[in-house]
Structure 1
């Protein structure tokens, strides 16, 4: 197929070149069935950056001397659907089973317990972890905890730092928590209290980028939910290895309910908890 799609001027051959480029940069691969979604967002990027054709825009993108072009593209093409306390049974597992084991195994290791949420999107997941710990974990006043969030999308990270949410995003948050931790800032908009925002450190990172993932080390718990399903086999394996490298021996990894590490890599050990499956970096692993 060589005809161009209206708006972008993107031919079938152009789409193949773009898809290969984006895959190499992010690990995300789009099938032909996503063509309309991709074309529409590429068109938005071309118009926003002042180019009048796909060829000119893509040439500048590949040269790499305008990194803002790639970041805008990533922001357009990544999906960031989330809300507070999503898949809350995994937070139950964190409090009821995982953290007690972490505490027991870390009793002679100095430093805080470290938790990573990746991708964190607009912040609902790492902030949900903070709220559950503050409200329900009995050791929060005596144990140091670091919570980190990371995402490839600079736009959603900016929104996470501002931490202003609509009622749909807060629909599962108990009303007393909303009253205690959120401030009404407009019609149906609530901003998370600065004390909670300041307790979560946010980073921009691509989980498939091994070089930058090396900066993330010694995490006791990692949430990486509903992202590996967007990768092919090679990218999923690379992401799994990068996550493995970011974790302490014995650390725990939570995936989304439709994801299974057994289909990706054997390096993690599945552990069955009452709330479901969690994956561990084996103790003694280097």
Structure 2
């Protein structure tokens, strides 16, 4: 390997700090091999013969296209349908029951799934509402799903999945909502049209301002990639994005109590979730 393409410890530190400022994601030293590999791949793809050249382009490219491509390469997107299903049960049995007691009938109930990954979570929410929430016929529900990775958003919109992703989908639902396409399964057009996919960087305040007035947020297993400062900043943005009385669901290993005092802990029979107080404005 030519010396010019070797990424030094100093280079790694510079990149790590830059990427953290842009995304809130902080790569530990244990991720060094993964980071170096992705950087070298992008240096090759862009024809940059040294890290310095590539890093200069990354910082100053007017379009930001290479930064977005690198973000796509650096993010991990691995999930499956009905992951942590108990939170979906909590949504239909407890959360929505409480929301509709104070929600104006003239406004849609808005649910935000972030990060979207390849769409399993938002489509799973849509299926769960259709199958288990009888009140759906009386309420307009909007499901928005967002990710920082533009490539994975395109995959989500296409709604094509390998067998691993649908392994926990009950056979009747697989038959009802999917069609077999060779070795893959595509989710029905009705569900694809029911979810709106958008790009958002949760670490970017301007990005987050464009996502507002949600009643429920699912943000599972994202904050584990952030440090304490980024978690706190993101939690505050989610607080602002929720309507008063709205709820946020985190991953099973995440606790909002250790991140921010803004939310109230709610212990429902199905799950522990976090609520923006009704009186909050």
Q: Deviations over 1:149-198 (max 9, x none)?
A: 000000100000001001100000011111111111112x0111111000
2:271 equivalent in structure 1: 276
2:69 equivalent in structure 1: 72
1:100-119 map, 5 Å: 100-106=97-103, 108=104, 110-119=106-115
CA distance in 2, matches of 1:158, 1:8: 32
CA distance in 1, matches of 2:100, 2:44: 52
Task: Give, in angstroms, the shift of residue 6 of structure 1.
Answer: 8.2
Please tell me whether residue 183 in structure 1 is matched to residue 179 in structure 2. Answer: yes
CA distance in 1, matches of 2:100, 2:61: 45
Please tell me whether residue 257 in structure 1 is matched to residue 249 in structure 2. Answer: no
2:162 equivalent in structure 1: 166
Q: Which runs of 5+ in 2 are unaligned?
A: none
Q: TM-score, normalised by structure 2?
A: 0.97
Contact 1:60 1:66 in 2 (8 A): no
2:19 equivalent in structure 1: 22
Contact 1:5 1:11 in 2 (8 A): no
Task: Give, in angstroms, the shift of residue 7 of structure 1.
Answer: 9.2
CA distance in 1, matches of 2:186, 2:41: 29
- RMSD between superposed Cα atoms in Å: 1.5
Q: TM-score, normalised by structure 1?
A: 0.95
Please tell me whether residue 246 in structure 1 is matched to residue 241 in structure 2. Answer: yes
1:231 equivalent in structure 2: 226
The partner residue of 2:6 within 9, 12, 17 is 9
CA distance in 1, matches of 2:63, 2:39: 16
Contact 2:179 2:186 in 1 (8 A): yes
Which 4+ runs in 1 deviate beyond 4 A? 4-8
Please tell me whether residue 120 in structure 1 is matched to residue 116 in structure 2. Answer: yes
Please tell me whether residue 42 in structure 1 is matched to residue 47 in structure 2. Answer: no
Task: Give, in angstroms, the shift of residue 208 of structure 1.
Answer: 1.2
The partner residue of 1:93 within 86, 90, 93 is 90
Task: Give, in angstroms, the shift of residue 73 of structure 1.
Answer: 0.8
Contact 1:221 1:251 in 2 (8 A): yes
